[in-house]
Amino acid sequence: MKTCLVRLRSTEDVKCFIRIVSEVSYSVRIVEGPRSVNAKSEMEVFSLNLTKPFEVCPEVEDAGLFEKLAPYCLERGGRTTVPGELK
C-alpha cells in the first residue's frame, strides 16, 4: 500500500486536508508513531502533534488522492514531491 508523508502547517491546511480525504468513499488513516486516527475526523486530526509530519495511509491505492494531497506531501514512495524539511 502506498503512503504519503504529510505536514500541515496551519488550521486552514488541516481543513483543506480533511475536505480532500472526505471526498473519497474508502477509509484514510493517519499514522503518527504508535497512533492511528481517522483522517476524515477533524477532532482526531487536531489531536495529533501537527508540528511534525505524519503518514497518510489510504485503504485503497488511489493516485488521484495523492495528486490532490500533493501540496501537503513531503515524501511519497521514497522521493520528495514537494520541497520541504522533515524536521
Helix extents (H) in 1-87: 11-22, 42-46, 63-69
Look at residue 81 and tell me whether its pLDDT is greater than 50. Answer: no
How confident is the model over 44-70, as a mean pLDDT? 92
Q: What percentage of the chain carries pLDDT values higher than 90? A: 68
| DSSP structure class, residue 78 | T
The CATH superfamily assigned to 4-76 is HPr-like (3.30.1340.10)
Residue extents of the structural domains in the chain: 4-76
Q: How confident is the model at residue 76 (pLDDT cuts 50, 70, 90)?
A: low
